Every structure is written in C-alpha cells, then in structure tokens.
Structure 1
Amino acid sequence: MSRIDSIKQKQIKLNTRYKELVEQAYNFRQTDSALSDLSEFRAIKLLNKLNRLKYLSREMKSQIAS
C-alpha cells in the first residue's frame, strides 16, 4: 500500500506545481510572452507526468483488487 501512497503524494506535489506554473504563465502573458510560453511549456510537461502517474495508480489499484 505504501507504493500507492507514494504515488499519491507525488501527484499532489506535481499538481500543486502545475497550478503554480499555469498561474505564472497567465500572469506573464501581458508583460513577457517568452516567460509565459516557458511556464506554459513546463506546465504541459508536468501535466504529462501527472497523467502517467494517474495511469500507474489506476493499474496498481486494479492489481490489488484482483
């Protein structure tokens, strides 16, 4: 069960960072478009990691249930 808990903690941490980057990208949109694009790119990369962790978590839960 600790593996699922560690995945969940990682998801929470990445989700918090994702929200920060999206907000940062929004705030930079009017003043510095290059920084806005960079923050948005980093947020998209984090979202990809979050989706992979979500899939992994779902797989782990289904293995435990079986």
Structure 2
Amino acid sequence: MKPIDNIKNKQLKLIDKYKVLIEEAYNLRQTDSALSDISEFDAIKLLNKLNRLKYLSREFKHQVAS
C-alpha cells in the first residue's frame, strides 16, 4: 500500500470519529454541558490531526509530482 493511501485511510477514520464527537457534543449540549465541552474539545483535537494529515498528503503529492 502506498504511503498516500495510508494517509487517506487515516483521514477517513478520523473524519468518522470527528463526526461522532461533534454529534455527541451537540446532543449533550442541553443535558450535560461539561460532557458536551469535553466531546467538542476531543473533536477539535481530531480536527487538528486532520489538518496535519492534509498538509502531509499535500506535501507528499508535491514530492511525487516533482
């Protein structure tokens, strides 16, 4: 498997986790604001990882094209 494929697979898994955490945060907003905040914080951390992977995949594509 190519490294770019590994990055894409990791991105897809993180996107799924991100969606679950955001939905959980939204659903908990009215009943338990503390748990909602924790879930949202975890989602933000995942979004940061996604952004780094996006940068990596862009750099990898750039190196392959050169």
TM range (shorter): over 0.9
The equivalent residue for 1:25 is: 25
Q: Distance in 2 between matches of 1:13 and 1:40?
A: 17
Gaps (5+ residues) in structure 1? none
The equivalent residue for 2:46 is: 46
Number of residue pairs the alignment of both structures matches = 66
Please tell me the root mean square deviation across aligned C-alpha atoms, in Å: 0.8
SS of the residue corresponding to residue 45 of structure 2 reads helix
Identity %: 74
Letter in 2 for 1:44: I
TM-score by length of structure 2 reads 0.98
Does 1:9 find its partner at 2:13? Answer: no
Q: Distance in 2 between matches of 1:2 and 1:20?
A: 28
Deviations 1:15-52 (A, max 9, x none): 00000000000000000000000000000000000000
Q: Distance in 2 between matches of 1:17 and 1:64?
A: 29
TM-score by length of structure 1 reads 0.98
Gaps (5+ residues) in structure 2? none
